[in-house]
Amino acid sequence: MEKLVQHFKDHNLRPSQQRMAVMKYLLDHHTHPTAETIYAALSPNYPTLSRTTVYQTLEKLYETGLAQKIVIEDGEMRFDADTSDHGHFKCVKCGEVFDFFYAQNHPFPKMGGSFEIQEKHLYYKGFCPKCKSA
Amino acid sequence: MEKLVQHFKDHNLRPSQQRMAVMKYLLDHHTHPTAETIYAALSPNYPTLSRTTVYQTLEKLYETGLAQKIVIEDGEMRFDADTSDHGHFKCVKCGEVFDFFYAQNHPFPKMGGSFEIQEKHLYYKGFCPKCKSA
DNA sequence: GTTATTCTTGTAATCATTACAGGTTTGTAG
DNA sequence: CTACAAACCTGTAATGATTACAAGAATAAC
């Protein structure tokens, strides 16, 4: 937790209640939540919390590298505090998003020319085990 | 073109002027356009064309396998008539989306458990050669 | 303690996409 | 050829996630 506070300070961000709460939620729930989900979850404990704050906080977390944005469906931006190299699987039936991991040195297609890659995203869509058998 | 007409008929879809025009646009322009882009491009030639028709048509093309949906940024659904296995690179500066291809047998991470994968999406974000040098 | 900066809040605006209802075209069967 | 039904297209209105904005609150610096 101290590392979190320090990370915020290193980026000229204050470790406010709201920011810490959002970040803690992301660290505790590896469910790739949307801003709305986080807002709904925190709202009871932070009655004055604003949706806008959640959105702004998530954007800051993304900008400073504490979280990654996951865009699989249009109009549904999810966030993940695990910024390590991994992929996502979204079940088209239940909507749940699963992580899947691979070797650090897994070979990914290279790009010809002088493209400068900053982010790499890999995701699958289909049926999760539970929905497949149902 | 006859194949197109046949494909439509095979899926109980009529090869209407509008559908053919949208499909032709996708085949002629490998720029991963959005519905709005296509609408703007076709509108002059089809003055009565409706945005809704473009949206509905693209959805049909997706459903019948004539096109794929590309979601990289939230709120920006793009379409690609090339449904073969390939990745996309989006330049964060100019916004252009580039294709990149890889071997058919390129190894992709497998998923443990009994997940049923229907779609695979790989994309990168960064600077394209032009924007990088600028 | 005062002042400036950063944060948070709530409401209003945006904008891509979808829902809907009515009119139009196309295919089919007599 | 005619009429009915199904599929289509259109325009407007609604939706819903996200962002803009302005004002008040908290925090840091001096």
Distance in Å, alpha carbon of A55 to nearest chain B alpha carbon: 14
Q: What is the pLDDT of residues B5-33, one digit of tens each?
A: 999 999 999 999 999 999 999 999 999 99
Q: Write the CA distances from A123 to A52, A98, A99, integer angstroms.
A: 28, 10, 9
Q: What is the pLDDT of residues B108-130, one digit of tens each?
A: 999 988 999 999 999 999 999 99
Pair type for strands A116-127 and B86-91: unpaired
Query: Which of helix, strand or coil describes residue A69?
Result: strand
**Average confidence (pLDDT) over B37-56:** 97
| Cα(A103)–Cα(B64) distance, integer angstroms | 35
Residue B134's pLDDT band (boundaries 50, 70, 90)? Answer: confident
Residue of B87, B119, B132 with shortest CB distance to A125: B119
Cβ partners under 8 Å of residue A84, min gap 6? none
**A36 Ramachandran zone, left/alpha/beta (phi>0; psi -120 to 50):** alpha
pLDDT score for A134: 84
A48 touches strand C (CB under 7 A): yes
Residue B86's pLDDT band (boundaries 50, 70, 90)? Answer: very high
Residue B100's pLDDT band (boundaries 50, 70, 90)? Answer: very high
pLDDT score for B110: 94
Query: Which of helix, strand or coil describes residue A52?
Result: helix
Q: What is the pLDDT of residues A9-35, one digit of tens each?
A: 999 899 999 999 999 999 999 999 999
Residue of A87, A116, A133 with shortest CB distance to B127: A116
The parts of chain A modelled with pLDDT lower than 70 are none
Chain A residue numbers with beta carbons less than 8 Å from the beta carbon of B92 are 118
Contact yes or no for B77/B69 (Cβ under 8 A): yes
Distance in Å, alpha carbon of A91 to nearest chain B alpha carbon: 9
- pTM, rounded to two decimals: 0.93
DSSP structural state of residue A117: E
Closest residue on chain A to B120 (Cα): A124
B76, B97, B105, B119: which to substitute to probe chain A, counting the most A Cβ within 10 Å? B119
The phi and psi torsions of B25 (rounded to 5 degrees) equal -60, -45
Residue appearing with tokens 């322009």: B29
Contact yes or no for A18/A57 (Cβ under 8 A): yes
Which residues numbered 93-112 in chain A sit less than 7 A from strand D, measured from CB?
A: none
The pair of structure tokens assigned to B67 is: 């096109």
pLDDT score for A112: 84
